[in-house]
Chains A and B, each alone.
Chain A
Amino acid sequence: MKFDSSTYRFTEPGKLGKIALSAGLVFLVISVLGYFQDSAQFFLAYITSFMFWLSIALGGLFFTMLHHLTGAKWSTVLRRVSESAAGTIPLMLILFIPILFGLHELFHWSHPEVYDPASPSLDELLKKKEAYLNVPFFVIRAVIYFAVWFLLSHYLTKTSVAQDSGHDDKLTGQMRRVSAPGMVLFALTITFASFDWLMSLDAHWFSTIFGVYIFSGAFLAIMSFMILVGYFQRRRDVLTDVITVEHYHDLGKLTFGFIIFWAYMAFSQYFLIWYANIPEENYWYLYRWDNSWKYVSLVIIFGHFVIPFVGLLTRAAKRTIPYLAVMAGWILVMRWADLYWLVMPTHHQGGFHFSWMDVTTCVGVGGLFVWFFWKRYTSYAVVPVKDPGLEASIHFTNT
């Protein structure tokens, strides 16, 4: 790995990409073997892993647009990380295709007989949702989501990179103008994608806050990811004077804030359902609590909220970079655990069930994600070199 600090480019991107790609392919092949052993479990594990890595990409898209919209200066040096994370959307589209082959395993509503009045497996409740929960519309929606995400991330990255080759401050305004409606589209697409790919795994259950809950997780995922990418480079003496402790401090503050925001979403949803105690919705929590899933639920309460909350509370915690990186890694593990807890119990309502595929698919999808991310990230300057706000971002301090 060689880095040219005058052009902010990697002249030689190192072995990371190759390692990630081979690990990804090997683990995906191993996971496919699992498909022949237990196809339902394979798809459950796969969609968990897919949603985990996709949430980093979507978080990246959100962070990039937020940066443009607020006109923030401090985050300019981090923008290429979030842009490149969002740039993995084409890869995620390809990785989405296997899910289409697992619809019957994953989604009860995808079986035509549940809508068939003549069939004994007719589901009266699902019948009322047929207009939304059906395979053709599901596929059309997925195409729309990916089209929106691709067009936005593609435009923003393309424009941002174009700015590198000249002092064109107008492009900053253009990216801002696209980000504003982009945000609206993003909010709608991530919400309905989370309804489609996560909430409808248990198609009887519904919650109005679910989209915001998934969004809060995606934001945490990109925050942790940016901290880790920064730290990875820092260990190799890359960008040490550019992404300074001040930036980590701000990333830490936002991560801390969104840990609370995530908990606020999770608690709002849980608390209102617990309090009202209506069978049509409380059962979703009951099968996550009345059996061995309880321990996973407890891990999430403590691991996803209590530990990061206490662990990121102090100023020193946010400014000690190796420590912050450990916390970021921990939060990513918890992000995976949260998605695991959303997906797995829907099909293992009796109790906790662990499969080796849960891990291999995550490494498999993750390997490809990291490879693609790194390939994009190292293909241009790793900071927007001609951005009018770059100088202010590098010298920014928390005072």
Chain B
Amino acid sequence: MNVSAKELSDSSTQREILVLGNPTFEKITEAVSRIVEGKPTRWWYALFSISVLLTIMLFANLVYLFWEGTGIWGLNNPVGWGWAIVNFVFWVGIGHAGTLISAILFLLRQRWRTSINRFAEAMTIFAVICALLFPAIHVGRVWVLYWVFPLPNQMGMWPNFRSPLLWDTFAVGTYFTCSLLFWYVGLVPDLATLRDRAKARIKKILYGLFALGWRGGNRQWRHYELSYLVLAGVSTPLVLSVHSIVSTDFATSLLPGWHTTIFPPYFVAGAIFSGFAMVMTLSLIARKVFKLEDIITTKTLERMNKIILVTGLMVGYAYSMEFFIAWYSGNDYERFAFINRAFGPYAWAYWIMVSCNVIVPQLFWFKRLRTSIPVMFIASIFVNIGMWFERFVIVVTLSRDYLPSSWDYYSPTIYDIMLLVGSFGLFFTLFLLFLRYLPMVAMSEVKGVLPQADPHYNHGEGG
């Protein structure tokens, strides 16, 4: 795709060309709708079967877990929080990129986001579903899970409002609700398009039901755009608050290595970082399989890589601050916690984390590398791995507490591993269903950034 800078800006409006090949509105509709309307490819079936199998494995594991209890996990005495919390934080973090793209980049007028925001938002929702699984199952007695909600009861028993774990319930619950609403509101015009194009009666009814009687009238668009703006405004603080609250699960404790004031913004930066890496992985596959190279352009991918670089640097900044202040505090326990991280029994995990999260993104300083599809694909996978390890490194800080006689080495069991792998199965099952039944690119929004959507189009040099 060799496009010179000149071709990238439309002379009549001076606006950057975000979609290549100067397509008409109809071509956009066609390119996106055909994915939903046509028969799925063999690739889709193959991936879907694998994902469903993994999901079945996940549920079989859950049954065994509920039967036996959390003793099947690798938890031991100092490490009472194992992979469940690691996976929870990992999945919640993934979601943040979707919200950043749909809300914050919208408020910052970043029009290039239109090609990726729909499936980034879908990714958010599915990631949050996977995330919610882990705190739910880690309680052991899942049948009393409703106790996390402050429900009046005859025992006069309430959850502890001072516990960050309870705040998680509200934070992630709010986040899920808002993300779902935002995603759905954005979908309405596109659902109407699919309804209008549907040939089968059942499809007409179902798409029609969810399109809420959308006709595309002027008044409807005005309401739609206002509600979109309001939802973007509501979702923006959520990008920061959710992972800040997740970070308090650790930071409100008294534990060296956990209790540090930079945790809230550090977790948020890490969340966006990991989320963008996941969006990158998914979009690279999707654009290849569904031939959307003209809509999700290399330029868009390059911009995402820049965000990965920036957030990777922020995460690196946070690692350095933690380390420096641990030394500067003069507190022997703080100092030990960090030396132990970098050179103790889990040094391998620490250095995987640093290599994947701090060193790998540095590749994106070079234009050649951040516009190279193979490089960015591999880098995004590394970042995903690195961010999982970041949470692992934080959690296994527990393995060496104040009392050396209670030190122990934590390692997962096969059930821990199967749950993590199974959660990927659940995520991809949901994501593949989404690709199959809903428009993966926001058609109406992409049309809005085409040059011919500009009111001043044709006013320039006679078109």
Chain A interfacial positions (CB closer than 8 Å to B): 125-126, 128-129, 132, 180, 184, 187-188, 191, 195, 204, 206-212, 260, 264-265, 268-269, 271-273, 275-276, 278, 280, 392
Whether the pair A212, B254 counts as a contact (CB closer than 8 A) is no
Checking A184, A264, A269, A272 against B252 with a beta-carbon cut-off of 8 angstroms, the contacting residue is: A272
Q: Known: A180-B365, A276-B259, A392-B14. Contact between A208 and B317, CB under 8 A? A: no
Question: B24 an interface residue at 8 Å Cβ cutoff?
Answer: no
Most buried by B among A187, A204, A208: A208
Q: Which residues of B contact A209 (CB under 8 A)?
A: 261-262, 264-265
Checking A126, A191, A269, A272 against B321 with a beta-carbon cut-off of 8 angstroms, the contacting residue is: A191
* A187 to B314 alpha-carbon distance, docked (Å): 9
Q: Which residues of B contact A276 (CB under 8 A)?
A: 252-254, 259
* A211 to B262 alpha-carbon distance, docked (Å): 10
Chain B 243-260: CB-based contact to A (< 8 A → 1; otherwise 0): 010001001111000011
Q: Which residues of A contact B251 (CB under 8 A)?
A: 272
Q: Known: A125-B330, A268-B265. Contact between A208 and B237, CB under 8 A? A: no
Whether the pair B330, A129 counts as a contact (CB closer than 8 A) is yes
* A264 to B244 alpha-carbon distance, docked (Å): 10
Checking A125, A208, A210, A265 against B322 with a beta-carbon cut-off of 8 angstroms, the contacting residue is: A208
Question: B119 an interface residue at 8 Å Cβ cutoff?
Answer: no
Whether the pair A184, B313 counts as a contact (CB closer than 8 A) is yes
Question: B220 an interface residue at 8 Å Cβ cutoff?
Answer: no
Whether the pair A206, B325 counts as a contact (CB closer than 8 A) is yes
Count of A-B residue pairs with CB < 8 Å: 70
A–B Cβ pairs within 8 angstroms, 15 of them: A207-B261, A207-B325, A208-B261, A209-B264, A210-B261, A211-B321, A212-B265, A260-B237, A264-B264, A268-B263, A273-B261, A275-B252, A280-B329, A280-B331, A392-B14
Whether the pair B328, A129 counts as a contact (CB closer than 8 A) is yes
Question: B342 an interface residue at 8 Å Cβ cutoff?
Answer: no
Checking A180, A184, A265, A278 against B265 with a beta-carbon cut-off of 8 angstroms, the contacting residue is: A265
Question: B240 an interface residue at 8 Å Cβ cutoff?
Answer: yes
Most buried by A among B261, B262, B265, B321: B261
* A204 to B329 alpha-carbon distance, docked (Å): 7
Q: Which residues of B contact A129 (CB under 8 A)?
A: 328, 330
* A209 to B365 alpha-carbon distance, docked (Å): 26
Q: Which residues of A contact B240 (CB under 8 A)?
A: 264
Q: Which residues of A contact B318 (CB under 8 A)?
A: 208
* A280 to B333 alpha-carbon distance, docked (Å): 13
Beyond A204-B330, A209-B261, A211-B321: 19 further Cβ-contacts under 8 Å?
A: A125-B330, A126-B330, A187-B313, A188-B317, A191-B321, A206-B325, A207-B261, A208-B260, A208-B262, A210-B261, A268-B244, A268-B262, A268-B263, A272-B248, A272-B252, A272-B259, A278-B254, A278-B259, A280-B329
Chain B 51-91: CB-based contact to A (< 8 A → 1; otherwise 0): 00000000000000000000000000000000000000000
Of the four ranges (under 10, 10 to 19, 20 to 34, 35 or more), the interface on chain B belongs to: 20 to 34
* A212 to B260 alpha-carbon distance, docked (Å): 13
Most buried by B among A126, A268, A269: A268
Chain B 363-403: CB-based contact to A (< 8 A → 1; otherwise 0): 00100000000000000000000000000000000000000
**CB-based nearest A residue for B244:** A268
Whether the pair A212, B262 counts as a contact (CB closer than 8 A) is yes
Whether the pair A208, B259 counts as a contact (CB closer than 8 A) is no
Checking B253, B317, B329 against A206 with a beta-carbon cut-off of 8 angstroms, the contacting residue is: B329
CB distance from A145 to the nearest CB of B (A): 16
Q: Which residues of B contact A264 (CB under 8 A)?
A: 240, 244, 264-265
Give the interface SS of chain A, mostly helix, strand, loop or mixed. helix
Residues of B1-59 whose CB lies within 8 A of A = 14
Q: Known: A128-B330, A275-B252. Contact between A269 and B261, CB under 8 A? A: yes
CB distance from A164 to the nearest CB of B (A): 21
Q: Which residues of B contact A280 (CB under 8 A)?
A: 329, 331
* A209 to B325 alpha-carbon distance, docked (Å): 10
* A334 to B64 alpha-carbon distance, docked (Å): 58
Chain B interfacial positions (CB closer than 8 Å to A): 14, 237, 240, 244, 248, 251-254, 259-265, 313, 317-318, 321-322, 325, 328-331, 365
* A278 to B256 alpha-carbon distance, docked (Å): 11
* A273 to B237 alpha-carbon distance, docked (Å): 22
Q: Which residues of B contact A204 (CB under 8 A)?
A: 330
**CB-based nearest B residue for A275:** B252
Q: Which residues of A contact B248 (CB under 8 A)?
A: 271-272, 275
* A268 to B245 alpha-carbon distance, docked (Å): 10
Q: Which residues of B contact A207 (CB under 8 A)?
A: 261-262, 325
* A132 to B330 alpha-carbon distance, docked (Å): 11
Whether the pair A272, B365 counts as a contact (CB closer than 8 A) is no
Most buried by B among A126, A129, A206: A206
Q: Which residues of A contact B329 (CB under 8 A)?
A: 206, 280
* A276 to B328 alpha-carbon distance, docked (Å): 19
Most buried by A among B14, B262, B317: B262
Q: Which residues of A contact B313 (CB under 8 A)?
A: 184, 187
CB distance from B308 to the nearest CB of A (A): 14
* A266 to B330 alpha-carbon distance, docked (Å): 23
Q: Which residues of A contact B261 (CB under 8 A)?
A: 207-210, 268-269, 272-273
* A100 to B370 alpha-carbon distance, docked (Å): 45
Q: Which residues of B contact A273 (CB under 8 A)?
A: 261
Most buried by A among B248, B251, B328: B328
Of all A-B residue pairs in the complex, the 8 with the closest CB atoms, nearest first, are A208-B262, A128-B330, A209-B261, A268-B264, A209-B262, A275-B252, A269-B261, A208-B321
Whether the pair B328, A206 counts as a contact (CB closer than 8 A) is yes
CB distance from B113 to the nearest CB of A (A): 14
* A126 to B330 alpha-carbon distance, docked (Å): 7
* A280 to B330 alpha-carbon distance, docked (Å): 10
* A208 to B318 alpha-carbon distance, docked (Å): 8
**CB-based nearest B residue for A123:** B330
**CB-based nearest B residue for A270:** B261
* A268 to B318 alpha-carbon distance, docked (Å): 14
Q: Which residues of B contact A392 (CB under 8 A)?
A: 14
CB distance from B140 to the nearest CB of A (A): 26
* A153 to B447 alpha-carbon distance, docked (Å): 41
Whether the pair A208, B325 counts as a contact (CB closer than 8 A) is yes
CB distance from A323 to the nearest CB of B (A): 21
CB distance from B234 to the nearest CB of A (A): 13
**CB-based nearest B residue for A132:** B328
Q: Which residues of A contact B365 (CB under 8 A)?
A: 180
* A188 to B318 alpha-carbon distance, docked (Å): 11
CB distance from A168 to the nearest CB of B (A): 16
* A92 to B142 alpha-carbon distance, docked (Å): 62
* A211 to B325 alpha-carbon distance, docked (Å): 11
* A210 to B261 alpha-carbon distance, docked (Å): 8
CB distance from B250 to the nearest CB of A (A): 10
Q: Which residues of B contact A126 (CB under 8 A)?
A: 330
Most buried by B among A126, A209, A264: A209
Q: Which residues of B contact A191 (CB under 8 A)?
A: 317, 321
* A323 to B388 alpha-carbon distance, docked (Å): 48
